[in-house]
């Protein structure tokens, strides 16, 4: 995310004009389907479609689980990215590619994998049930786990790239000055990483918000418990397409709001 495009006014002239054609096509590919959605929406019916109790439940559930899984992504993903980028343990290259697995796995397969691990017959699931008496599938916890599973690679990959790109000279200087590893991490690595964490958070929250396949496979679909906005869209599309489209628009608005709020700080911050 190095902002050579806008870091100072003079750099605008440096964008080769040929790029404008593929860039416009790329933008059209992203924007036009949404326009198609808007064109077919009966805007006068929109408010009544959106304030049904089931869509409000789905919206609330999506925001809560998205926030929780993004927090989990940060708590687990930041240390993982630092270890992957800095540690010199054998097999680290292999570990780096393993972390990308959720990106390649079709989400439904990811959901099945979670079910086979944490479900009633999964070995970790059996352990958890015998220790706590609780079952994971069909709970809101399962939604958060599924979202964290699919979203975390986005955070880890963007952080790891930033860490490896920036090198470790500041950390080395800090340790030659006598700082302990934990102090180096807290006072040097983390502050340097903040802009990348910002964009990683946006990416993983957006991914968690749109999560569908792993959730429906692992957590099921029950109003106010596991039926997030994308699942509600899918369920509604079976009967009432207008309502499904309205919900999809709601999802888009939420995503755009979140990105607009979080992005300037993280991405502008990235221009050093």
Interacting residue with other proteins among 107, 110, 153, 198 (CB under 8 A): 107
For 167, the token pair is 């090198």
By CB under 8 A, residue 115 contacts other proteins: yes
Phi then psi for residue 187, to 5 deg, are: -95, -20
Cα 144 to chain center, whole Å? 12
Does residue 257 interact with other proteins by CB under 8 A?
no
Binding test (CB under 8 A) with other proteins, winner from 3, 83, 129, 242: 242
C-alpha–C-alpha distance, residues 109 and 28, integer Å:
31
Find all residues with CB under 8 Å of 136, minimum gap 6, and list them.
118, 119, 125, 128, 142, 145
**Closer to other proteins at the Cβ: 188 or 254?**
254
Q: For residue 223, how far is the Cα from the chain centroid?
A: 23
The residues in 126-185 that bind other proteins, with binding defined as CB under 8 A, are 135, 137-138
Judged by CB under 8 A, the chain residues 198 through 217 that form the site for other proteins are 206-207, 209-213, 216-217
Q: Which is nearer to other proteins, 174 or 214 (CB)?
A: 214
Can you tell me which of 223, 262, 269, 271 binds other proteins, judged by CB under 8 A?
223
User: Segment near other proteins (CB under 8 A), from 18-26, 64-72, 117-125, 155-163?
Assistant: 117-125
Q: 184: which residues sit within 8 A by CB, 6+ positions away?
A: 171, 174, 175
Contact between 108 and 102 under an 8 Å Cβ cutoff? The reply is no
* Residue 62 interacting with other proteins (CB under 8 A): no
Listed in sequence order, the residues at least 6 apart from 125 whose beta carbon sits closer than 8 Å to its beta carbon are 117, 118, 119, 135, 136, 137
Count of positions on this chain that bind other proteins (CB under 8 A): 50
Nearer of residues 185 and 267 to other proteins, judged by Cβ: 267
Helices 107-118, 123-132: crossing angle, 10 deg rounding? 50
Is residue 26 within the footprint of other proteins (CB under 8 A)?
no
Catalog residues that contact other proteins under the rule CB under 8 A.
30, 33-34, 36-37, 40-41, 107, 112, 115-116, 119-121, 135, 137-138, 206-207, 209-213, 216-217, 219-223, 226-227, 230-231, 233-239, 241-242, 244-245, 248, 251-252, 255
């Amino acid at each position: 995310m190095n902002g050579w495009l806008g870091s100072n006014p003079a750099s605008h002239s440096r964008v080769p004009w040929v790029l404008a054609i593929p860039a416009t096509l790329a933008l059209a590919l992203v924007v036009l389907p949404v326009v198609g959605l808007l064109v077919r929406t009966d805007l006068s019916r929109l408010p009544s479609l959106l304030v049904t109790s089931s869509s409000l439940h789905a919206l609330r559930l999506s925001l809560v689980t998205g926030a929780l899984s993004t927090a989990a992504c940060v708590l687990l993903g930041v240390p993982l990215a630092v270890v992957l980028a800095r540690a010199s343990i054998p097999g680290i290259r292999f570990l780096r590619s393993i972390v990308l697995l959720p990106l390649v796995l079709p989400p439904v397969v990811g959901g099945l994998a979670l079910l086979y691990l944490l479900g009633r017959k999964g070995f970790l699931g059996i352990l958890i049930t015998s220790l706590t008496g609780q079952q994971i599938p069909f709970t809101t916890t399962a939604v958060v786990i599924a979202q964290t599973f699919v979203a975390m690679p986005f955070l880890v990959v963007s952080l790891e790239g930033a860490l490896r790109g920036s090198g470790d000279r500041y950390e080395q200087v800090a340790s030659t000055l006598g700082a302990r590893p934990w102090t180096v991490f807290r006072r040097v690595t983390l502050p340097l990483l903040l802009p990348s964490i910002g964009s990683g958070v946006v990416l993983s929250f957006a991914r968690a918000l749109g999560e569908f396949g792993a959730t429906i496979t692992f957590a099921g679909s029950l109003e106010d418990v596991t039926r997030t906005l994308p699942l509600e869209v899918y369920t509604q599309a079976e009967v009432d397409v207008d309502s499904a489209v309205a919900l999809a628009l709601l999802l888009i608005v939420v995503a755009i709001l979140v990105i607009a709020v979080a992005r300037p700080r993280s991405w502008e911050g990235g221009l050093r």
